[in-house]
Amino acid sequence: MELSNKKNVEHQNSQFLEAWVEQFRPYAKEGNCANYIPALELKNPNELAISIIGSDGIEMKAGDTTNTFTLQSVSKVVAFISACMDRGMSYVLERVDVEPTGDTYNSIVRLESHEPGKPFNPMINAGAITVSSMISGNSSQEKLDTIIKLLEKMVGKKLIVNEEVYKSEWETANRNRAIAYFLMDSGYLDCEVEEALEVYLKQCAIEVDVSDLAMIGLVIGNDGYHPILKKQLFSKEVAKLTKALMVTCGMYNFSGKFAAFIGLPAKSGVSGAILAAVPSHASVHSPFPTGCGIGIYGPAIDEIGNSVAGVPLLKHIATEWNMNIF
Ligand code: DON
Which residues 6+ apart lie within 8 Å of 93 measured at CB?
Answer: none
Residue 140 annotated as binding? no
Identified catalytic residue from 74, 199, 210, 270? 270
| AA identity, residue 205 | A
Q: Is the CB of 283 under 6 A from ligand 1?
A: no
Q: Is the pLDDT of residue 1 over 70?
A: no
SS3 state at 131: helix
pLDDT at 113: 79
- Residues 36-83 have pLDDT tens digits of 888 899 999 999 999 999 999 999 999 999 999 999 999 999 999 999
DSSP states of 8-60: HHHHHHHHHHHHHHHHHGGGGGG-B--SSSHHHHTS-TT--EEEEEETTS-EE
- Residues 184-202 have pLDDT tens digits of 999 999 999 999 999 999 9
Q: Is the CB of 307 under 6 A from ligand 1?
A: no
Q: Is the CB of 82 under 6 A from ligand 1?
A: no
Identified catalytic residue from 21, 51, 75, 76? 76
Residue 174 annotated as binding? no
SS3 state at 50: strand
Quick one: the chain helix, strand, coil %, rounded to 5?
50, 10, 35
Eight-state DSSP code of residue 58? -
Atom of ligand 1 nearest to the CA of 306: 12
What does the alpha-carbon distance between residue 22 and residue 243 come to, in Å, rounded to a whole number?
A: 29
pLDDT at 19: 98
* Strand 292-297, strand 273-278: pairing: antiparallel
pLDDT at 129: 98
User: Is the N-terminal amide bond of 122 cis, ω within 30° of 0?
Assistant: no
Residue 125 annotated as binding? yes
Residue 270 annotated as binding? yes
pLDDT at 2: 63
Atom of ligand 1 nearest to the CA of 73: 9
Q: Is the CB of 72 under 6 A from ligand 1?
A: yes
Cα(178) to centroid(ligand 1), Å: 15
What backbone phi and psi angles, to 5 degrees, belong to 173? -85, 40
pTM above 0.90, yes or no: yes
Task: Work out the mean pLDDT of the chain and round it to a whole number.
Answer: 95
Q: Is the CB of 104 under 6 A from ligand 1?
A: no
What does the alpha-carbon distance between residue 276 and residue 273 come to, in Å, rounded to a whole number?
A: 10
What backbone phi and psi angles, to 5 degrees, belong to 121? -160, 160
Atom of ligand 1 nearest to the CA of 72: 9
pLDDT at 109: 82
- Residues 120-162 have pLDDT tens digits of 999 999 999 999 999 989 999 999 999 999 999 999 999 999 9
Q: Is the CB of 270 under 6 A from ligand 1?
A: yes
Q: Whose CA is nearest to atom 4 of ligand 1?
A: 72
What does the alpha-carbon distance between residue 42 and residue 168 come to, in Å, rounded to a whole number?
A: 12
Cα(106) to centroid(ligand 1), Å: 8
What does the alpha-carbon distance between residue 190 and residue 136 come to, in Å, rounded to a whole number?
A: 9
Cα(268) to centroid(ligand 1), Å: 9
Q: Which domains does the chain have, with CATH numbers?
A: 3-71+208-320 (3.40.710.10), 73-204 (3.40.710.10)
What backbone phi and psi angles, to 5 degrees, belong to 276? -130, 140
Question: Residues 27, 162: contact at Cβ < 8 Å?
Answer: no
Share of the chain above pLDDT 70, in %: 99
Q: Whose CA is nearest to atom 8 of ligand 1?
A: 73
Tell me which residue of 119, 107, 238, 259 sits closest to 189, measured CA to CA: 119
Residue 252 annotated as binding? yes
**Is 270 an active-site residue?**
yes
Tell me which residue of 314, 310, 270 sits closest to 38, measured CA to CA: 270
CA distances in angstroms from 290 to 162, 215, 232, 278, 281, listed in the order given:
34, 14, 17, 9, 8
Share of the chain above pLDDT 90, in %: 87
**Is 230 an active-site residue?**
no
- Residues 245-291 have pLDDT tens digits of 999 999 988 999 999 999 999 999 999 999 999 999 999 999 999 99
SS3 state at 258: helix
What pairs with residue 206 in β-bridges? 161
Tell me which residue of 240, 222, 226, 215 sits closest to 294, measured CA to CA: 215
Eight-state DSSP code of residue 307? B
